[in-house]
Structure 1
Amino acid sequence: MRYYRLPSRERGTDSDALVVVDGEDDAYDLSTASDDLGSFTELARAANASDRSVDAIARDRIPDAESYDLDSADSDALLPVVPDEVWAAGVTYSISEEARKAESGKPEVYIDVYDSDRPELFLKATPSRTVGPNEAVGIREDSDWDVPEPELGVVLHREEVVGYTVGNDVSSRDIEGENPLYLPQAKVYDRCCSLGPCVATGGVVEDPHDLTMSLTIERDGDVVFEDETTTSQMATTCETLVKYLRRHNDLPETLVLLTGTALVPPETFTLHEGDEISIDIEDIGRLVNDTVVV
């Protein structure tokens, strides 16, 4: 199933709706079936309390839920899950290793990570720095080389994988390339991360390591970059990344772990304010954001 956070259609309310899509067209507002199912985290909490899956809880409540018209879902979709933290992994694809070596004056740092059992993991964003679909992601005013990084996002609740989403790990490549110790400044700033359009569970994403992922960037109506890859090219599995994230780390209730990128625009490319970024991941959906200088 796929879970969206959308504006409520109930008259007289301005709250959000947790909408589940069962199949291609059937959509239901679970928040109309229970006041305790107003968000994906609340649904995951109910599943955890009953030792059942989120899909099993949703199916139980669908008969009591009002149907939801998805015609405007693409334009109305909100941040599908509000994570307490967003973490990210680096150098998980061979292309990202090559790109990081190209941007850095110290390429041996990235070679060592790619060849190591321990992955690169870092705190990417807090809730206030994370935006949803159709919101603007940020590019740093003090950076001259900024790129989107399309990534598969793993959604965890109480340290267990409960779904997947699309993520954009926006990065300032010149800041990171100047010195690897500047990584937090290259990665963590206002509007540095976007997630959406939904959370897709394992019933939809049967194999997270076999998904087509594409990136399109438009400027003034023209496509200025377009490419695609597959998550089968990951050199590090999602399971390994989650295992290392859990080590000696008391995780918050809900978080998203971005799993690295293989779609890196050329060194001659940098984002401009107003660019539109579209990231598609098979079986999950399309995440669209424009850009603003922050």
Structure 2
Amino acid sequence: MRLATISVDGEPVCVAYLSDGSMLNMSGAAGSLQGLIDGGKPALDAARKLVAEAEDGQHQDKVIRQSAALMAPIPKPAKNVFCVGRNYAEHIAEGDRAQNQKVGVTEHPVFFTKPPTALVAPDGDVLLFPEVSTSIDYEVELTVVIGTAGRNISKADAMDHVFGYTILNDITARDIQRRHGGQYFKGKGLDGSCPIGPVIVTADEIDDPHALSIRLTVNGEQRQDGNTKDMIFDIPTLIASLSEGLTLEPGDMIATGTPSGVGYAMDPPQFLKDGDTVVCEVSGIGTLSNTVRAV
């Protein structure tokens, strides 16, 4: 299923996309997309049944055929979004060249987080704060949504904990990142720095999350063009590593890193500016488009 959250009279409503592009209002069954995830397999099975019935012509009073404003799939996550740094070899190499250093591949995954206040809806604005940063960059990322709670999850069991996948743009203030000793949180946690969506695609819809094209354009210009097969640490490894002594819960999100082509590594560097349109694409999921706005 392709699940989303739309705004109806200013309130979030969980929907499932039907084959004709219309949406089925799932609020009566799930309450919210987070509620659907929390409900586990019984809730997911019930949702699939409703979608199948709607495809057969039932529940027409719950079908939304006009366009609706998308919200972030989980508009107010209970926790920060987990993120992974330095997970594509070519991205590591371009960063090392740009900074004239040699860090290379780390022995263990690099984790950081983005706060819920950073989230941006599909078609929402990426915020620029010119007095705070002049080096705002982009990073398209496949993002894993956890469905089943667990701690000390083994790699063998990791994929059983995945509910689905979405797209995240890890907007980064590079100058702030460098200013704070290279640590990631402050430079990646500004308001408006976490566009996410447009949908969560359930895990059964993605045959192999390690074989997806992943791309990003700025004003139509191709900047990033990679494939998730090139991740250094695959999804089972990320889940196993992150969950060591740390409980992952339903609705937790893990952005899995970005391929090469980021703005700060270009010659000369190309940072985002007011009015830019940034489009992220991951095959099997869709596109996430946002406009950059100075405030």
Match of 2:247 in 1: 250
Indicate which of 262, 265, 273 corresponds to 1:264.
262
Pick from 216, 227, 232 the counterpart of residue 230 of structure 1: 227
Letter paired with 1:234: M
2:72 to 67, 74, 79: 79
Deviations 1:112-171 (A, max 9, x none): xx141x1001112x2222111111123343333221100001111334210100000001
Cα drift, residue 205 of structure 1: 1.3
The equivalent residue for 1:137 is 126
> Within 5 Å, which residues of 2 pair with 1:1-294?
1-8=1-8, 14-23=10-19, 25=21, 27-31=23-27, 33-34=28-29, 37-47=30-40, 52=41, 55-62=44-51, 63=53, 65=59, 66-69=61-64, 72-73=67-68, 76-82=69-75, 83-84=77-78, 85-104=80-99, 107-108=101-102, 110-111=103-104, 114-116=105-107, 118-124=108-114, 126-141=115-130, 142-157=132-147, 158-159=149-150, 160-177=161-178, 180-218=181-219, 223-262=220-259, 263-265=261-263, 266-267=266-267, 268-293=269-294
Q: 2:141 is paired with a residue of what secondary structure?
A: strand
CA distance in 1, matches of 2:199, 2:291: 18
| Cα gap change, 1:171 to 1:57, in 2 (>3 Å) | same
- Give the distance between the partners of 1:237 and 1:45, measured in 2 at CA: 25
- Change in 2 beyond 3 A, CA 1:30/1:187: same
1: distance between equivalents of 2:211 and 2:74? 23
Contact 2:23 2:64 in 1 (8 A): yes
Aligned partner of 2:286: which letter? G
Question: How high is the TM-score relative to the length of structure 2?
Answer: 0.83
Contact 1:138–1:170, Cα closer than 8 Å, also in 2: no
Seen in structure 2, the aligned counterparts of structure 1 residues 140 and 95 have a Cα distance that, compared at 3 Å, is: farther
Q: Is contact 1:104–1:178 with CA below 8 Å preserved after alignment?
A: no
Compute the RMSD of aligned alpha carbons.
2.3
181 and 270 in structure 1: CA distance in 2 versus 1, 3 angstrom threshold? closer
> Is residue 100–residue 177 contact of structure 1 (8 Å, CA) maintained in 2?
no
Gapped runs of 5+ residues in structure 2? 151-160
- Counterparts of 1:245 and 1:70 in 2: how far apart (Å)? 40
Shift of 1:177: 4.1
Asked if the contact 2:37/2:44 (under 8 Å) is kept, the reply is no
CA change 1:270–1:14 in 2 (3 A) is closer
Residue 57 of structure 1, CA deviation: 2.5
In the alignment, the residues of structure 2 paired with residue 24 and residue 241 of structure 1 have an alpha-carbon distance, to the nearest angstrom, of 36
Identity of aligned residues (%): 25
Structure 1 stretch displaced more, 235-244 or 20-29: 20-29
Aligned residues: 271
Q: SS state of the match for residue 197, structure 2?
A: strand
Instruction: Give the TM-score taking structure 1 as reference length.
Output: 0.83
Rate the CA distance shift 1:28–1:271 in 2: closer, same or farther, 3 A.
same
Kindly provide the CA deviation profile for residues 64-83 of structure 1, in whole angstroms up to 9, marking residues without a partner as x: 7444345525xx21111232
AA aligned opposite 2:5: R
Alignment check: 8 A CA contact 1:175 1:182 kept: no
> SS of the residue aligned with 1:254?
coil
Following superposition, the deviation at residue 27 of structure 1 comes to 3.4
How big is each residue's C-alpha offset from its partner over 1:7-66, in whole Å with a ceiling of 9 and x where there is no partner?
A: 33xxxx6533211124454631111x43xx12111011222xxxx265422123344744
